[in-house]
Amino acid sequence: MERSIFELWGHGKSPEELYTSLKNYPVDKMVPYLHSDSTYKIKIHTFNKTLTQEEKIKRIDALEFLPFEGKVDLKKPQHIFSVLEDYGLDPNCIPENPHNIYFGRWIADGQRELIESYSVKKRHFIGNTSMDAGLSFIMVNHGKVKENDIVFDPFVGTGGLLIASAHFGAYVYGTDIDYNTVHGLGKASRKNQKWRGPDENIRANLRQYGLEKYYLDVLVSDAAKPSWRKFAYFDAIITDPPYGIRESTRRTGSQKEIPKGMEKCPESHVPVSLSYHLSDMFFDLLNFAAETLVLGGRLVYWLPVYTPEYTEEMVPWHPCLKLISNCEQKLSSHTSRRLITMEKVMKFENQDQYAHLLNDHFLLYQGHNSFREKYFSGVTKRIAKEEKSNQE
Amino acid sequence: MKLLTHNLLTSHVRGVGPRGFPLRLQATEVRINPVEFNPDFVARMIPKVEWAALREAANTLQLGEVPTEPVEGYERDEAFLRKMHHVLLEVDVLEGTLQCPESGRLFPISRGIPNMLLNDDETES
């Protein structure tokens, strides 16, 4: 997600290089924005460094050689020019001089103010794994969600992705296997709060942002055994499936298979018992997406990986879905998750003909089924190491 | 639960396949929820609707006549779109059941939320 867009007029690794570069920029491209009838201002942006006002003014003065003919207006200029100085990414190691300097004409800002207004801190209804608002918008962007789309989240939780989708004018559906979460019942996830109030559910969250008209429905449902009619009607499926660490991966099972110590839910629910292998979950998710997405529709989801064993080949695959992007976010020293975006490019035919194609592929991901153990293995190793050195 | 949703749901009880649609609707509590009319969205939904199922559900809830099929040029027919908007999006079944037409299995609707969970031995493998 971009912060701002500039039309680049020059750049260099030093002020001198920048000025040379600017002198080489075609004057006829500059003139429309510099003529005497217009107003302008120059801003200095530094990344990873703070400059004093004096230092900023020196830099602006150094640009006097540019053919500015208009008047300076600091309040509402017609044109804004920016000097961007890049001092690297390490806040503990800020260089004396910038690595790169750019000069350009400002065109537009990205919608980062959305992240603040949709912050999870302010939202009425949150869960243990509510995703940060910025990431929700990124996912919705990847899904190319637009007005009048239908968006579905099969692991909806508290509905964060539905809120972000509704913000762009999409109508939203969600399902979750957890009855209490869908109904907004049970222990609150916000510290200092005992029980979720009657206003804590997905519909209430949408209402909070004035997006209730986009709420279609939420259902208690097992994503492994969907109840959706087999037809293509979703424009996007955007979801953050459980990884089995904080929220467990579950699937409905038969009565006799309930292991000891497993909660039995009251009548209207169904006892949940079987652990759901991650690889099966993605197999089901891709198949479901291939069948119910419209052509051109997108599937966007997080794929947890154990980094030492990750290879690109293990990213789940389906003949009807084309991989558009695969972006990593580190979770710990040896685990990360990847934001996968896929687009439906082929009509879905009979499921059985894909089964043999998909099986080999999913064997590659099997290693990540024990994601939960691998996630914690780093922690237990470290604790063991510390205990050992304490004893020595 | 909206009637648009009912139109997209099917029974996934083992062995029923396509005969699991449509689910038989029974409602004990229904609420009318005004929703802002968006003709473009309604027009987009029309091709996705299974008409016979929609008519049946609308009749069950005594919502008045739903046409046998979309009128010619429905995209520009505001009266038609407004009627469909009301039927598909403004009628909310708060309490009731959805029944698999083949196996008879009931899925409860409570607080407007259907519960579609089944035991492993009841579902398709």
A228 forms beta bridges with B9
pLDDT at A162 exceeding the cut of 70: yes
Rounded CA-CA distance A135/B117 in Å is: 30
Q: Report ipTM (2 d.p.).
A: 0.96
Give the residue among B49, B91, B11 at the shortest CA–CA distance from A221: B11
Residues A242-256 have a mean pLDDT of 56
- Looking at the complex, does the CB of residue A350 fall below 8 Å from at least one CB of chain B? no
Q: Both tokens of residue B81? A: 């779109």
pLDDT tens profile A61-85: 999 889 888 899 888 888 999 999 9
- Looking at the complex, does the CB of residue B33 fall below 8 Å from at least one CB of chain A? no
* CB distance B88 to B17 below 8 Å: no
Cβ pair A254:B108 closer than 8 A: no
Q: For all residues of chain A together, what is the average pLDDT?
A: 79
- Looking at the complex, does the CB of residue A34 fall below 8 Å from at least one CB of chain B? no
Question: Is the CATH number 3.40.50 carried by domain A4-110?
Answer: no
Q: Count the residues in chain A.
A: 392
pLDDT band at A362 (very low <50, low <70, confident <90, very high): low
pLDDT tens profile A169-215: 999 999 999 998 898 876 555 555 544 444 568 998 899 899 999 99
Q: Is there a domain that residue B111 lies in?
A: no
pLDDT tens profile A28-44: 888 888 888 889 999 99
Domain membership of residue B77 as a residue range? 3-11+21-100
pLDDT at A280 exceeding the cut of 90: no
Report the pLDDT value the prediction gives residue A127, as an integer from 0 to 100: 54
pLDDT at A312 exceeding the cut of 80: yes
Give the best residue of B120, B121, B124 to mutate against chain A (max A CB count within 10 A).
Answer: B120
pLDDT at A367 exceeding the cut of 60: no
Report the pLDDT value the prediction gives residue B29, as an integer from 0 to 100: 95
Residues B70-80 have a mean pLDDT of 92
pLDDT tens profile A88-143: 877 777 888 899 999 999 887 766 656 656 666 666 555 555 567 778 889 999 99
pLDDT at A272 exceeding the cut of 50: no
C-alpha distances out from residue A27 to A24, A72, A85, A295, Å: 8, 20, 23, 47
C-alpha distances out from residue A104 to A32, A42, A43, A74, A329, Å: 14, 10, 10, 17, 31
DSSP 8-state class, residue A315: S
Which positions in chain A touch B101 (Cβ < 8 Å)? none
Q: Which residues 223-252 in chain A show a CB within 8 A of chain B?
A: 225-231, 233, 251-252
pLDDT band at A381 (very low <50, low <70, confident <90, very high): low
How many independent structural domains does chain B possess?
A: 1
Report the pLDDT value the prediction gives residue A152, as an integer from 0 to 100: 98
Rounded CA-CA distance A363/A95 in Å is: 48
Which positions in chain A touch B18 (Cβ < 8 Å)? 230
pLDDT at A47 exceeding the cut of 70: yes
Residues B83-111 have a mean pLDDT of 96
* CB distance A79 to A35 below 8 Å: no
pLDDT tens profile B15-37: 898 999 999 999 999 999 999 99
- Looking at the complex, does the CB of residue B25 fall below 8 Å from at least one CB of chain A? no
A228 to chain B: nearest residue by CA?
A: B9
Give the residue among A185, A192, A134, A199 at the shortest CA–CA distance from A163: A134
Report the pLDDT value the prediction gives residue A266, as an integer from 0 to 100: 32
- Looking at the complex, does the CB of residue B79 fall below 8 Å from at least one CB of chain A? no
Q: What is the DSSP string of A135-181?
A: HHHHHHHHTT--TT-EEEETT-TT-HHHHHHHHTT-EEEEEES-HHH
Which of A376 and B84 is assigned the larger pLDDT? B84
Report the pLDDT value the prediction gives residue A352, as an integer from 0 to 100: 66
* CB distance A206 to A166 below 8 Å: yes
Question: What class does CATH assign to A114-253+269-377?
Answer: alpha beta
Instruction: Tell me, rounded to whole angstroms, the distance of Cα A284 from its chain centroid.
Output: 22
pLDDT band at A262 (very low <50, low <70, confident <90, very high): very low
Model's pTM, two decimal places?
A: 0.69
Which of A366 and A198 is assigned the larger pLDDT? A366
Strands A215-220, A321-330: pairing kind: unpaired
Which positions in chain A touch B11 (Cβ < 8 Å)? 227
- What's the CATH number where B38 sits? 2.20.25.10
Q: Which residues 177-196 in chain A show a CB within 8 A of chain B?
A: 177, 179, 182-183
Q: So where are chain A's domains? A: 4-110, 114-253+269-377
pLDDT tens profile A210-239: 999 999 999 999 998 899 999 999 999 999
Report the pLDDT value the prediction gives residue A195, as an integer from 0 to 100: 46
Between A144-158, A257-271, A338-352, the lowest mean confidence (pLDDT) is in A257-271
Q: Which residues 143-172 in chain A show a CB within 8 A of chain B?
A: 147-148, 171
Cβ pair B41:A171 closer than 8 A: yes
